[in-house]
Amino acid sequence: MSECSCTESKKLEKPLVLKIEKIVDEAKDFKTFIFRHRLNAKPGQFVMLWIPRVDEKPFSVTYQDKERFALTIFKVGPFTQKLFEMKEGDKVGIRGPYGNHFKLEGKNVVLVGGGCGTAPLGFLADEMKKIKADVNFIVGAKSKPYLLYLHRMKKSGVKTFVTTDDGSFGVKGFTTELLKTFIEKNRLDKVFACGPEVMLKHVVEMCLKAGIPCEVSMERYMKCGFGVCGQCCVDNSGVRVCKEGPVFSAKKIKKIAEFGKYKRSASGKKVKL
């Protein structure tokens, strides 16, 4: 690699074409794509991933060190299907990082990840460990094969607590039920969450009620990723999930009227959640 790769990289507004250095089977329908590039992202930020001649979609950064970053991706549709067919050494375009990020604060914190929402919190857990926080990670999935990062978290000293919908691993039930116990039994400084919006809505309500600072990351259909196309603007404030978000404090998210209710599709049409 040339010397310039060591210097601070500028934010990429045009896709930078990178080779997929490594692909890891993370869980059922989850793969982690590792790239060699100093991204300088912060937990909660995302990149736009371009497959030439196919499409481009936003993905949260889920791991980062000084030379690499990774995206753990869940297979949901034609785009991710295409991505899952790619091999190590294949090239994709990356631009970003975009959006705001989680505030790294609190000594005793809980992370709540539901389904693929667990992915960006993996990066957050790493960074919170670096500032010596006591990190408790509630990982929720529909069943055992879909669970993410249990080994990775154990290695870095993060305490994990698992819930599955069918009880095939950990506690049978929802992440929010575990969070409730946490709130009752501990003095928490902060709660971070990412996952299905119904889950986020519960997390937000619980934290507001208990007076615990809370940040959640939400998802909306994005086209440009840098705040011009207006596709991800939410009702009623009009703020851009790609620019003012995707991370919102519980207080701010309460002002987003569509939160937990509906989102907009690629055409701009409202779709019920």
Contact residues for another protein (CB under 8 A)?
Answer: 13-15, 17, 48, 50, 52-57, 91, 93, 95, 223-224, 226-231, 233-240, 243, 264-270
Instruction: Write down the least CB distance from residue 7 to another protein, Å.
Output: 20
Q: Maximum distance among all alpha carbons in the chain? A: 53
Nearer of residues 99 and 170 to another protein, judged by Cβ = 99
Composition of the chain by helix, strand, coil, percent to 5: 25, 35, 40
Q: Which of 101, 95, 97, 98 minimizes the C-alpha distance to 49? A: 95
Q: What is the rounded CA–CA span in Å between residue 200 and residue 136?
A: 17
Distance separating alpha carbons of residues 87 and 5, to the nearest angstrom = 24
**Quick one: 94 or 214, whose CB is closer to another protein?**
94
C-alpha 187/C-alpha 155 separation (Å) is: 25
Characterise 93 by phi-psi region: left (phi > 0), alpha (psi -120 to 50), beta (else). beta
Complex with another protein: residue 191 or 242, whichever CB lies closer: 242
Nearest distance in Å: CB 63, another protein = 24
Q: Residue 1 or 266: which CB sits closer to another protein?
A: 266
User: What sign does the CA torsion over 245, 246, 247, 253 have?
Assistant: positive
What is the separation of C-alpha 71 from the centre of its chain, rounded to a whole number of angstroms? 9
In the complex, the smallest distance separating the C-beta of residue 246 from another protein, rounded to whole angstroms, is 16
Instruction: Kindly list the distances between the CA atom of residue 76 and the CA atoms of 79, 83, 136, in Å, as whole numbers in the listed order.
Output: 8, 11, 28
The least CB distance from residue 267 to another protein, in Å, is 5
Least Cβ distance, residue 47 to another protein (angstroms)? 13
Q: Which is nearer to another protein, 159 or 255 (CB)?
A: 255
Task: Kindly state the smallest distance separating residue 81's Cβ from another protein, in Å.
Answer: 15
Cβ closest to another protein, residue 227 vs residue 252: 227
Q: What are phi and psi of 121, to 5 degrees?
A: -75, -20
C-alpha–C-alpha distance, residues 197 and 90, integer Å: 34
Instruction: Name the residue type at position 133.
Output: A
Q: Which is nearer to another protein, 88 or 166 (CB)?
A: 88
Q: How far is the CB of 257 from another protein (least distance, A)?
A: 9
Would you call 128 exposed, middle or buried from its count of C-beta atoms within 10 A (0-12, 13-18, 19+)? buried
